[in-house]
Amino acid sequence: MTRPAVFLDRDDTLIANAELPDEAFSGKWGDLADPAQVRLLPRVDTACLELRRAGFLLVVITNQGSVARGGATIADVEATNARVAELLPDPDRPGSSLLERTYYCPYHPTGVVEPYNVEHPWRKPQPGMILAATSDLSLDLATSWMIGDAERDVEAGQRAGIDPARCIRVGPNGTLPDLAAVAARILRSP
Ligand SMILES: [Mg+2]
C-alpha cells in the first residue's frame, strides 16, 4: 500500500531562518546549524498535526550546502534536524515526532569540503530526495504535495512528478502566507 506525503522544506517553511540575527549562525552561509536557535514558525505545529491526522506522512526535504561550504558539520545538521523533529511531538503517538523522516543534502558544487563539494542529484531543484523518500517510505506521489518557500522547492516537486497544482510556495514570496494556510488548502482538496 502506498501513502500520501506532504514533503516540507525546512528553513523558512518549518523554522525561522531569514529573520534570525547573524549571531544565530555558526557558519557564514545562512543555513541554521545550531539546535539552540531552532524556532518553529507560527502555526507550524497545528498545521503539521492536522496534516498528520488527515493521513499524510510529513517528510522534510532540505538542502544543507553549508556542509560543503565549511559552515557546518554533518553532526551540526543532524542535531538541528533532530531539534526540529523534537519540537513537533505527535500527541497521537507518544515518543514519536509528527515528522516521519528528514532528508538533507550536504552537497554543493562550489563548496570546499570533500567529498561534499560536488553537484548531487539530491540537491534541490533536483528531485533526488523526494524520489528516495518515495521509495523508502512507499509513498504515492499522485496524492502527495511539496511545500517550500523557494522556487527550487516547487521545481523539485514538479521534477519528481508531483502535480504542479500540489507544489506550493509559502511565505512572503509565495502563493500562501504560511503552513497553516497550506494545510487548509490541502485538507479542502479532493
Ligand atoms: Mg527554505
Provide the phi-psi class of 187: left if phi over 0, else alpha when psi is between -120 and 50, else beta: alpha
| Predicted pLDDT at 190 | 78
pLDDT for 30 equals 55
70-100 b/e (C-beta count within 10 Å ≥ 16 → b):
ebbbeebbbbbbebbbebbbbeeeeeebbbb
Successive 10-residue mean pLDDT values, the chain, 190 residues:
94 86 53 88 97 98 94 94 98 97 97 96 98 98 97 98 98 95 95
d(CA 94, ligand 1 centre) in Å: 28
Q: What is the pLDDT of residue 22?
A: 56
Asked if 92 and 53 touch (Cβ cutoff 8 Å), the reply is yes
Domain ranges of the chain: 56-110
State the pLDDT at residue 1: 77
The values of phi and psi at residue 187, to 5°, are: -75, -20
Residue 181, pLDDT score: 98
| Cα 1 to averaged position of ligand 1 atoms, centre (Å) | 31
136 Cα–ligand 1 center, Å: 23
CA of 12 to the centre of ligand 1 (A): 5
Q: Note the pTM of the prediction, 2 decimals.
A: 0.94
Based on the residue annotation, tell me whether 11 is a catalytic residue of this protein.
yes
Sheet holding 99-105, edge to edge: 99-105, 57-63, 5-8, 145-148, 167-169
Q: Which residues surround ligand 1, an ion (CB under 5 A)?
A: 9, 11-12, 149
Is the distance from CB of 109 to CB of 115 less than 8 angstroms?
no
Q: Note the pLDDT of residue 25.
A: 53
For residue 165, how far is its CA from the centre of ligand 1 (angstroms)? 19
Q: Of 11, 31, 90, 153, which one is the catalytic site residue?
A: 11
Query: Has 9 been annotated as catalytic?
Result: yes
List the beta strands (DSSP E) in the chain. 5-8, 57-63, 99-105, 145-148, 167-169
